[in-house]
Amino acid sequence: MVDPVASTPIQGGPILEAKGLHAAYGQVRVLHGIDFVVNTGGVTALLGANGAGKTTTLRAICGMVRSTGDLMYDGKRINNLPTEAIAAMRVGHVPDGRGTFMELSVEENLRLGGYTRKDSIEPDLERMFTYFPKLKDRFRQQAGTLSGGEQQMLAIARALMIKPRLLLLDEPSFGLAPLIVREIFGIMKQIIATERTSILLVEQNASLALSVADMAYLLETGKIVMSGPAAEIRQDESVRRAYLGY
């Protein structure tokens, strides 16, 4: 068994650190004092079953749900800041359900992704097309007419348009065919290799998540029950039985 409070190997130091993070919806408590770290340039996977609190964790980071405890981003406490203020700090969020603006075109969605920037976004539009060439073919097309996989690609590309220092990905494989999932995770590996972006990945497909992550945390009913290097988590017998199916 991996130590639940195992220390995270330092890559570039923590860009995001939670200590004793609690979150609730009204009177319903979801997170019960969790601790985790996302290192600069690292990929951290947050694993767990439905209802474990994974999406709530991302929403707490984005200021979409009230939280207590310490939530530090780049050395600054961000608990309960307005969502737009956190986005302006270059925190990108791809929510569950993708969150594309269905009535707008692919181009309009991408331009909205860069709305907080003061510099030209044109070079980054072209950069997105190197990752997602299908979006170039659909540039003028209404987002609501895209396939599910194309909508997920658009959601990731839109989040990348702010040049995020931290990217939060919530279930990028959800509802997609296996071939499309492999394609999207292949693109994500390219992004991880070339972008200077730290990633917190929430994903029910534990095998996929652990294939791209360097650190992993297992969340059960709002509590961290296991943490450590992704390679070690992948080899843990209880994780293999419960989440990896072998």
Of 134, 163, 192, the residue that ends a domain is 163
Question: CB–CB of 46/55 below 8 Å?
Answer: no
Sheet strand arrangement including 28-39 = 28-39, 14-25, 67-73, 76-77
Strands 43-47 and 215-220: parallel
Percent of the chain with pLDDT over 70: 94
State residue 6's pLDDT score.
41
State residue 4's pLDDT score.
40
Claim to verify: residue 110 and residue 208 sit in the same structural domain? no
Q: What are the tokens at 62? A: 């984005």
State residue 246's pLDDT score.
52
203: confidence class by pLDDT, cuts 50, 70, 90: confident
State residue 245's pLDDT score.
60
Of 130, 163, 196, the residue that ends a domain is 163
Claim to verify: residue 170 and residue 158 sit in the same structural domain? no
pLDDT higher at 192 or 142: 142
142 beta partners: 105
3-state DSSP: the chain helix, strand, coil percent, rounded to 5? 35, 25, 35
Of 144, 163, 182, the residue that ends a domain is 163
Question: CB–CB of 127/119 below 8 Å?
Answer: no
State how far the Cα of 175 lies from the Cα of 63, in Å rounded to an integer: 26
State residue 96's pLDDT score.
85
Radius of gyration in angstroms for the set of CA atoms belonging to the chain, rounded to a whole number? 17
State how far the Cα of 240 lies from the Cα of 246, in Å rounded to an integer: 6
Mean pLDDT within 223-240: 91
Count of the separate structural domains present in the chain = 2
Q: What confidence tens digit (pLDDT) does each residue in 101-125 have? A: 999 999 999 999 988 888 889 999 9
pTM as predicted: 0.90
Q: What confidence tens digit (pLDDT) does each residue in 46-94 have? A: 999 889 999 999 999 999 999 999 999 999 999 989 999 999 999 999 9
Claim to verify: residue 180 and residue 77 sit in the same structural domain? yes
Claim to verify: residue 101 and residue 11 sit in the same structural domain? no
Claim to verify: residue 71 and residue 111 sit in the same structural domain? no
State how far the Cα of 145 lies from the Cα of 134, in Å rounded to an integer: 13
Question: CB–CB of 127/190 below 8 Å?
Answer: no
| DSSP state, residue 117 | -
Provide the strand spans (E) within 10-66: 14-25, 28-39, 43-47
Q: Which residues span the domain enclosing 184?
A: 1-90+164-246
**Distance from CA of residue 236 to its chain's centroid?**
23
Claim to verify: residue 123 and residue 190 sit in the same structural domain? no
Location of structure tokens 């994500």: 188
Q: What is the DSSP secondary-structure string of 183-197?
A: HHHHHHHHHHHHS--
Claim to verify: residue 6 and residue 82 sit in the same structural domain? yes
Q: Does 5 score more than 60 pLDDT?
A: no
